[in-house]
Amino acid sequence: MVNDISKEDYLSLKWGTLKSWKFHSEEAKLLLKEYDKIGSSYSAMYQIDTPRQIEIICQLIDIGNFDRVYLDWDDIYVSKEEAKKYVMDYK
């Protein structure tokens, strides 16, 4: 089996946090494990990310093999920079 590194990743955010995702890199998978180890709610609506979790989401945005991030609640795609601002400024 050939490892296709050109596979596109995907990230969806809702209420300022992770909603759904698909990543292929080991770096992203390790970040997701760390995020999970810190702890999260079963619902994005109730999730209150720690400063480290916010940092992890921003790192995932940076390393993701995609150009845009989907904001589920708003039903729009935004640039990586807009997605990071959304996560960091969400209250």
Residue 79 has what DSSP assignment? E
C-alpha 29: how far from its chain's center?
11
Q: Quote the CA–CA distance of 67 and 64 in Å, as a whole number.
A: 8
Backbone angles phi and psi of 5, in degrees to 5: -75, -5
pTM for this predicted structure = 0.87
Give the per-residue pLDDT at 2: 47
Residue 53 belongs to what H/E stretch? helix 51-63
The 8-class DSSP code of residue 76 comes to: E
Mean pLDDT, the chain cut into blocks of 10 residues (91 residues total): 67 95 97 92 77 97 97 97 97 79
Residue ranges covered by each domain of the chain? 24-89
Task: Give the three-class secondary structure for 17.
Answer: strand
